[in-house]
Structure formats: structure tokens, C-alpha cells
């Protein structure tokens, strides 16, 4: 039973877009790994941008221009 966990920032992703991701990931697992769609579980977890960080800064601070983009 495949289990796929996807984490994204919570920023205006629509229910339709998430449904498309679930559908296409399920189709990929069926096509590539021959996994039955009925056995495939997909979870999309949305994380607030102030709870996601890299390079020592939150995504919220980077997007607001209060912190540099790491590597830039």
C-alpha cells in the first residue's frame, strides 16, 4: 500500500490543484510501479510560511523581504 506525503506552504493552493496532484501522483504510481489506485494513499499537508524555514529564516520573512534568499 503506497503512502505519499507531500508538504507545501499554505499559500493559495486551490482544492482543484490539490485534487489534480493527488490524481496525477496516483496515476504515476499505477503506471510506473503497477500499484492499484485503490491501495494508494496521498496526504497533502499545508504548512504556514512562518512555520517553514531554510537558511536560518522563515519563508514568511524571506517573502516579505525581511531576510535574504539563501544562496542569493
pLDDT at 69 over 90: no
- Residue-range domain boundaries for the chain: 3-64
Q: Tell me the CATH class for 3-64.
A: alpha beta
Residues annotated as catalytic are: 2
DSSP 48: -
Q: pTM, whole model, 2 decimals?
A: 0.83
pLDDT tens-digit map of 14-59: 999 999 999 999 999 999 999 999 999 999 999 999 999 999 999 9
Amino acid at each position: 500500500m503506497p503512502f505519499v506525503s507531500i508538504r507545501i506552504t499554505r499559500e493559495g493552493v486551490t482544492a482543484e490543484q490539490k485534487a489534480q496532484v493527488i490524481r496525477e501522483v496516483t496515476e504515476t504510481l499505477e503506471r510506473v510501479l503497477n500499484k492499484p489506485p485503490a491501495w494508494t494513499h496521498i496526504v497533502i499537508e499545508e504548512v504556514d510560511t512562518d512555520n517553514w524555514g531554510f537558511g536560518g529564516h522563515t519563508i514568511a520573512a524571506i517573502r516579505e523581504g525581511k531576510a535574504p534568499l539563501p544562496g542569493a
